[in-house]
Chains A and B, each alone.
Chain A
Amino acid sequence: MGRQGGNVRIAAASLAVVLSLSWGLPAFADPPGNPAAVKQDEDGYWRDKNGDPTYKIAPEGTVDFATYAGFRRYHSDCHVCHGPDGMGSTYAPALADSLKTIDYTTFAGIVVNGRKDLINGNDKVMPTFAENKNVTCFLNDIYIYLRARSQDAVPRGRPAKHEPKPATYDANETKCLAGD
């Protein structure tokens, strides 16, 4: 790099940090921030103060509908690699851990684009889910469920009690699954 000794060491160190971040995470991952639900949007999803989807769980444990829907949709399309309840498997990471440190935009990017970690002897490939309506129509729900798992706001297993389906949810679901 043609610099003085000290600068080279610092440059090398920050390069190493960037590289190590990019092994496990996209280079500009932001942690998701305070998950407290602040308001509900017109589709029935709760939002945090940044406007990102989040969960709302009553003190006695009743979860909002999106958290419950996320549990189901996660276990339909994601658990085959990522294990039950976001706990990971022998070949895909525990999203209950990953969601502690990646935000909604990053999450959506990975689901839509897929990921490849080709490490000799243990190739891991996540496909793009962009064409899979069973995932894209429920991206918020899956994120909300995993965010709740990452904060231990919901335990493992099927949420025992949930709020009823919001009025607009059914119509949106049908429209999205059928749509272009």
Chain B
Amino acid sequence: MRKYLLATCVSAVALCGAGFAYADDEQATLQKDPKQFTTQRGNYAATAYSELNQINASNVAKIAPAWTFSTGVLRGHEGAPLVIGDVMYVHTPFPNIVYALDLNDDGKILWKYEPKQDPNVIPVMCCDTVNRGLAYGDGKVFLHQADTTLVALDAKTGQVAWSQKDGDPSKGQTGTDAPFIFKDKVFIGVSGGEFGVRSWVSAYNVKDGKLAWRGFSMGPDSDTLIDPTATTALGKPVGADSSTKTWQGDQWKIGGGATWGWYAFDPALNLMYYGSGNPSTWNPKQRPGDNKWSMTVWARDVDTGKAKWVYQMTPHDEWDYDGVNEMILTDQKIGGADRKLLTHFDRNGFGYTLDRASGELLVAEKFDPAVNWATGVNMDKNSADYGKPIRVKAMSTEAGGEDENTQGICPAALGSKDEQPAAYSPQTELFYVPTNHVCMDYEPFKVSYTAGQPYVGATLAMYPPKGDKNMGNFIAWDGKTGKIVWSNPEQFSAWGGALATAGGVVFYGTLEGYLKAVDAKTGKELYKFKTPSGIIGNVMTYEHAGRQYVGILSGVGGWAGIGLAAGLTKPNDGLGAVGGYAALSNYTALGGQLTVFALPNN
């Protein structure tokens, strides 16, 4: 406990003396201590990079499980546990239990919080009852529940400090994303892009739970918090009604643009960064227009929510390429000049590098060569189509038409990468990206909207690209040039989040359940261990009593648990197609376990 208080008082002495009321600088200070793991993705920049190097490329082959913990829940386990001082905080899928484990006593349970939620929220969660993790700040642990409640728990006792209901599951609104604390606010988004939910990001005061602001993904400027003259897209002001005039009639009211991904923050610019998801429905014919601001990278002022800049990656989406994936902030040199960058690996298969201050687009290249719905992104600043994808007509599901099956589109709707987050190492200046390598046939058709019911309107079949057997790759990417540096094939989509360390090692988990360690420079596999169930969570690391530990949640599920459980079929092999690609269910079953690895005690 003493160690724990010390950590929060390391910042400006004056603040400490005054009783240190705000989480203002606290998270920034906590993140500097590599022994702790105090926020999802490790730090504000979302690099998932740890300075710990006790485990390194020459000894990682010797690591082994040191201790384990069963969560008591058997569904898809996303996100990562946190370590603050000597306590580890573990979260679970629905019913969203929170455990505080004592690292001084082999993970003894200090307290457990289990919210009472109406199980009728379960069927309104399109893609398993996942939860992407907790946040910590101001002596409180924050949980975003499936029923959209945001609850702040006293970190020492698990007692509820405050609780806020953010949305309404009867309208298809649910909670899956992890809260993030930036300065004195805690931020959450909402899920429901498959239910016609017009989505938002909410900012609540860490101290008292009051709502500070809420910014919607589409609607009038007063809802989206866009300033027609000050908010820019690729350097130009977006103008009035930039969202609503890209929708037909009132469709923006059930527009989607869900916000369930990972958020990042630049304290110097005072901007938070995140992406918005697909427009509703999946049938593009039913929603003409560019559908702004779905599929968009957002930069918002943390205090007011006002949008500084936006960039829409996939206007008038025809494939469900949600833009919610993580935004990783780095400072690198491009063309000899120091730049403040934002790198984003989108569902649509393009790796984007932008200037995070101005929103200028610097690089947009495919991070899977199989991507074929667009040939590239227009990088000509003078073109009217600057920044837009150069679409391939044959892969347009709208051109294919309603009730027609458009075939061989790559990537499939689950994208070249779904929510599983990448990591970045400043040592190598490389991004480490878990990817999917799957294509699809997609057939849109007419659907009607009912609140709280799925509003999808398309059916799809998925399979690996022609000639390939692997359904995933784990790659190293140079964001300055937009090039794949090395690529390790994986039998299944690489659905776990990566971690990079100063020891020159990169960790990730596989869908069959392997925790793998690879050399950060070459990609050579150095270690693997099969955990009790498939991995869709993110690797984390911490140090306790002089030993470095690497922790990972196992528990297969998520969208991978639906689409890949039974295996994929060969595309249109004629009638009676026999066999198909490996079924995930041949390799793993449901689980819910934390495995923590370390070098053996000599």
**CB < 8 Å: which of A61, A72, A90, A126 contacts B565?**
A90
Do A75 and B459 contact each other (CB < 8 Å), given the known contacts A80-B454, A90-B556, A90-B565? yes
- B569 and A80 within 8 A (CB): no
Interface: A32 (CB within 8 A):
no
In the complex, A11 Cα to B459 Cα: how many Å? 49
Of all chain B residues, which has the CB nearest A60? B575
Main secondary structure of the interface of A (DSSP, over half): loop
CB 8 Å contact bits of B100-144 with A (1 = contact, 0 = none): 000000000000000000011011101111000000000000000
- A79 and B562 within 8 A (CB): yes
B460 contacts across to A, CB distance below 8 A: 75
Interface: A156 (CB within 8 A):
yes
Of all chain A residues, which has the CB nearest B571? A157
In the complex, A127 Cα to B118 Cα: how many Å? 12
A94 contacts across to B, CB distance below 8 A: 566
Interface: A151 (CB within 8 A):
no
Interface: B563 (CB within 8 A):
yes
For the complex formed, measure the closest distance between the CB of B277 and the CB atoms of chain A, giving whole angstroms.
Answer: 15
- A132 and B453 within 8 A (CB): yes
For the complex formed, measure the closest distance between the CB of A169 and the CB atoms of chain B, giving whole angstroms.
Answer: 12
Interface: A133 (CB within 8 A):
yes
For the complex formed, measure the closest distance between the CB of B575 and the CB atoms of chain A, giving whole angstroms.
Answer: 4
- B454 and A85 within 8 A (CB): no
Of all chain A residues, which has the CB nearest B282? A76
CB 8 Å contact bits of A18-39 with B (1 = contact, 0 = none): 0000000000000000000000
Of all chain B residues, which has the CB nearest A82? B562
Interface: A158 (CB within 8 A):
yes
- A156 and B122 within 8 A (CB): no
For the complex formed, measure the closest distance between the CB of B136 and the CB atoms of chain A, giving whole angstroms.
Answer: 26
- B446 and A177 within 8 A (CB): yes
Kindly name the residue among A79, A121, A129 whose own CB sees the greatest number of chain B CB atoms within 10 A.
A121
In the complex, A146 Cα to B571 Cα: how many Å? 20
**CB < 8 Å: which of A61, A71, A124 contacts B122?**
A124
Interface: B450 (CB within 8 A):
yes
A126 contacts across to B, CB distance below 8 A: 123
For the complex formed, measure the closest distance between the CB of B319 and the CB atoms of chain A, giving whole angstroms.
Answer: 15
- A80 and B126 within 8 A (CB): yes
- B72 and A76 within 8 A (CB): no
In which size bucket is the chain B interface?
35 or more
In the complex, A71 Cα to B405 Cα: how many Å? 12
- A157 and B562 within 8 A (CB): no
Of all chain B residues, which has the CB nearest A92? B562
Query: From residue 427 to 456 of chain B, which have CB atoms closer than 8 A to chain A?
Result: 441, 443, 445-448, 450, 453-454, 456
Interface: A180 (CB within 8 A):
no
**CB < 8 Å: which of B120, B443, B592 contacts A72?**
B443
In the complex, A126 Cα to B72 Cα: how many Å? 22
**CB < 8 Å: which of A74, A88, A122, A161 contacts B74?**
A122
In the complex, A81 Cα to B125 Cα: how many Å? 10
Query: From residue 177 to 194 of chain B, which have CB atoms closer than 8 A to chain A?
Result: 194
A133 contacts across to B, CB distance below 8 A: 448, 450
B119 contacts across to A, CB distance below 8 A: 116, 118, 123, 125
A77 contacts across to B, CB distance below 8 A: 454, 456
- B562 and A89 within 8 A (CB): yes
Interface: A87 (CB within 8 A):
yes
In the complex, A132 Cα to B194 Cα: how many Å? 14
Do A127 and B120 contact each other (CB < 8 Å), given the known contacts A76-B447, A76-B456, A80-B562? yes
Report how many residues on chain A are interfacial, defined by Cβ distance under 8 Å.
44
B557 contacts across to A, CB distance below 8 A: 90-91
Interface: B572 (CB within 8 A):
yes
**CB < 8 Å: which of B127, B447, B561 contacts A134?**
B447
For the complex formed, measure the closest distance between the CB of B48 and the CB atoms of chain A, giving whole angstroms.
Answer: 26
**CB < 8 Å: which of A84, A123, A124 contacts B461?**
A84
- B73 and A121 within 8 A (CB): yes
Interface: A109 (CB within 8 A):
no
Query: From residue 142 to 178 of chain A, which have CB atoms closer than 8 A to chain B?
Result: 155-158, 160-161, 177-178
- A121 and B74 within 8 A (CB): yes
- A89 and B454 within 8 A (CB): no
Of all chain A residues, which has the CB nearest B445? A72
Interface: B95 (CB within 8 A):
yes
Interface: A131 (CB within 8 A):
yes
- B566 and A84 within 8 A (CB): yes
Interface: A44 (CB within 8 A):
no
- A125 and B562 within 8 A (CB): no
In the complex, A156 Cα to B567 Cα: how many Å? 10
Kindly name the residue among A85, A118, A157, A178 whose own CB sees the greatest number of chain B CB atoms within 10 A.
A157
- B75 and A91 within 8 A (CB): yes
Kindly name the residue among B74, B459, B557 whose own CB sees the greatest number of chain A CB atoms within 10 A.
B459
For the complex formed, measure the closest distance between the CB of B515 and the CB atoms of chain A, giving whole angstroms.
Answer: 19
For the complex formed, measure the closest distance between the CB of B68 and the CB atoms of chain A, giving whole angstroms.
Answer: 17
Interface: B580 (CB within 8 A):
yes
Interface: B359 (CB within 8 A):
no
In the complex, A151 Cα to B401 Cα: how many Å? 32
In the complex, A144 Cα to B128 Cα: how many Å? 27
A177 contacts across to B, CB distance below 8 A: 446, 448
CB 8 Å contact bits of A47-73 with B (1 = contact, 0 = none): 000000000000011000000000110
For the complex formed, measure the closest distance between the CB of B439 and the CB atoms of chain A, giving whole angstroms.
Answer: 14
B126 contacts across to A, CB distance below 8 A: 80
In the complex, A126 Cα to B454 Cα: how many Å? 13
Of all chain A residues, which has the CB nearest B70? A121
Of all chain A residues, which has the CB nearest B71? A121
For the complex formed, measure the closest distance between the CB of B160 and the CB atoms of chain A, giving whole angstroms.
Answer: 22
For the complex formed, measure the closest distance between the CB of A95 and the CB atoms of chain B, giving whole angstroms.
Answer: 12
For the complex formed, measure the closest distance between the CB of B278 and the CB atoms of chain A, giving whole angstroms.
Answer: 14
CB 8 Å contact bits of B480-508 with A (1 = contact, 0 = none): 00000000000000000000000000000
Interface: B335 (CB within 8 A):
no
In the complex, A156 Cα to B462 Cα: how many Å? 12
- A156 and B569 within 8 A (CB): yes
- B459 and A90 within 8 A (CB): no
Do A131 and B458 contact each other (CB < 8 Å), given the known contacts A72-B445, A160-B572? no
Given contacts A76-B459, A121-B74, 5 further A-B contacts (CB under 8 A): A61-B575, A84-B462, A94-B566, A121-B72, A157-B577
7 CB < 8 A contacts A-B:
A75-B459, A76-B458, A84-B462, A122-B74, A127-B120, A134-B453, A134-B456
Interface positions of B (Cβ within 8 A of A): 72-76, 94-95, 119-120, 122-124, 126-129, 194, 405, 441, 443, 445-448, 450, 453-454, 456-462, 556-557, 561-563, 565-572, 574-578, 580, 585, 590, 592
For the complex of A and B, 3 pairs with smallest distance between CB atoms: A87-B566, A75-B459, A90-B561
